Amino acid sequence: MSIINDDSKYIANTYARFPLAIVKGKGALAYDEAGKEYIDLGSGIAVNAFGYSDDEWVKAVTGQLSKVQHTSNLYYTEPCTRLAKMLCEKTGAKKVFFGNSGAEANECAIKVARKYAEDKGIEGAKIITLNNSFHGRTLATLAATGQDVFHKSFLPLPDGFLHIDAGDIDAFKALAEKENVAAIMMEMVQGEGGVMPLTEEFVKEVCRIAKEKDILVMVDEVQTGNGRCGSLYAYMNYGITPDVVTTAKGLGGGLPIGCCMMFEKTENVLKSGDHGSTFGGNPIAAAGAVSIIERIDDKLLSEVKEKSEMIFSSLTGAKGVKSVSGQGLMIGIETEKDAGEVIKECMGKGVLVIKAKNKVRLLPPLNIKKEELKKALDIIKSCL
Ligand SMILES: *Cc1c(COP(=O)(O)O)cnc(C)c1O
């Protein structure tokens, strides 16, 4: 109990935490102070891609820990170079910038878009984002986030963002006519917005028009990326080639890392001195990320898809379920009962799930065992 009491006393009260202290875990299983076992279908919000203390990841991280923990970006280190090469070879990106979080990855993308526009002689460049999106909590990424609830109390926010509804191609067309629109940034599946996938039709049409008008397509894969949606990055499900891709959460497998990938059009936008981060590309986080990315292969991705189908077929039409949305192992369940109540009951019965808007959200580890997933789904259904 002292963990929970002291946390409330000494840590800024910005999180509505569940009354649970997790003291250890292995794979998809987590344990509290009393030794109670939970099947964790939240993965630390899509971060623990291979679950808790995964053996290979631990080996990669601890191996690096006893070599070099940090050098600053004044020098080179092997893990961050290796990770960059892997990401570029697997995506077609030309250059990457490493930060430490999703918001930082998006800050980098925003800077890239603004400088790309400036290089073309455009002043006061605008970036289009979608209503109901989530791009982070720093001031610029808050401004990008198309949800007013996150804005209130923090005005003035940085200028330069325009919002349209997901799927509203006419709104995009109208804005694309303006000279100062530099980029559009979007999540392929809106995560915090309620696990809402964009339609292929909308995404493809946006990309077609953007290409015509030289508007950068920037995909926020902070949550959807790194195998979560059944492909290495969710944009690959849509058959598009973006100009910028940002990612974080699952990339580090549990250590803080963010990455902004720049493709052909944007690879040389940032020059020496334009951007930086003391901790960015940290060798321990990068070594962990290498061990994650090298294991997201076709075999793992086909298992992700199989488990996704398991979830959809188990929950679609089940008692108390209004709808199931999402891609891969990023799933939203619209429930007849209040989602908060369902989540609380599941926790009581040993299953950890989280919320997205009014939905119950599932983000299980990519390597969760099918038996564990099945057991957890049965428990969820018993709480609906
Ligand atoms: C979580 C999230 C972010 C913010 O990432 P942080 O690491 O919390 O800064 C940005 N975009 C999306 C889509 C996210 O899900």
Which amino acid would we find at residue 127?
I
Contacts for 69-76: CB closer than 8 Å, 24+ residues apart: 69/282, 69/283, 69/284, 70/279, 70/282, 70/283, 70/284, 71/283, 72/278, 73/276, 73/277, 73/278, 73/280, 73/281
Ligand 1 site, residue 250, Cβ cutoff 6 A:
no
The pLDDT profile of the chain, 384 residues, written as one tens digit per residue, is: 589 999 999 999 999 999 999 999 999 999 999 999 999 999 999 999 999 999 999 999 999 999 999 999 999 999 999 999 999 999 999 999 999 999 999 999 999 999 999 999 999 999 999 999 999 999 999 999 999 999 999 999 999 999 999 999 999 999 999 989 999 999 999 999 999 999 999 999 999 999 999 999 999 999 999 999 999 999 999 999 999 999 999 999 999 999 999 999 999 999 999 999 999 999 999 999 999 999 999 999 999 999 999 999 999 999 999 999 999 999 999 999 999 999 999 999 999 999 999 999 999 999 999 999 999 999 999 999
Q: Is the pTM of the predicted complex or chain greater than 0.75?
A: yes
Distance (Å) from CA 186 to ligand 1 centroid? 12
Question: Could you tell me how far CA 279 lies from the centroid of its own chain?
Answer: 20
Ligand 1 site, residue 145, Cβ cutoff 6 A:
no
State whether residue 18 is helix, strand or coil: coil
- Which residues, including other chains, have CB under 8 Å from residue 317's CB and lie 6 or more apart? none
Q: Respond yes or no on whether the N-terminal peptide bond of residue 197 is cis (omega within 30° of 0).
A: no
State the closest ligand 1 atom to the C-alpha of 106, by its place in the atom list counted from 1.
Answer: 10
Q: Please give the CATH architecture assigned to the domain spanning 58-293.
A: 3-Layer(aba) Sandwich (3.40)
Assess contact for 99 and 108: CB atoms under 8 A. Answer: yes
User: 304 to each of 44, 55, 66, 238, how far by Cα in Å?
Assistant: 18, 20, 33, 17
How buried is 73 (Cβ within 10 angstroms: 0-12 exposed, 13-18 middle, 19+ buried)? Answer: middle
How buried is 211 (Cβ within 10 angstroms: 0-12 exposed, 13-18 middle, 19+ buried)? Answer: middle
Q: What is the pLDDT of residue 1?
A: 56
Q: What is the pLDDT of residue 2?
A: 87
Residue of minimum CA distance from atom 5 in ligand 1? 102
Residue 39: strand pairing partners: 29, 351
State the closest ligand 1 atom to the C-alpha of 138, by its place in the atom list counted from 1.
Answer: 9
Distance (Å) from CA 222 to ligand 1 centroid? 5
Ligand 1 site, residue 191, Cβ cutoff 6 A:
yes
Q: What is the pLDDT of residue 299?
A: 98
Ligand 1 site, residue 222, Cβ cutoff 6 A:
yes
User: 15 to each of 11, 18, 19, 67, 149, how far by Cα in Å?
Assistant: 9, 9, 12, 35, 15
State the closest ligand 1 atom to the C-alpha of 101, by its place in the atom list counted from 1.
Answer: 7
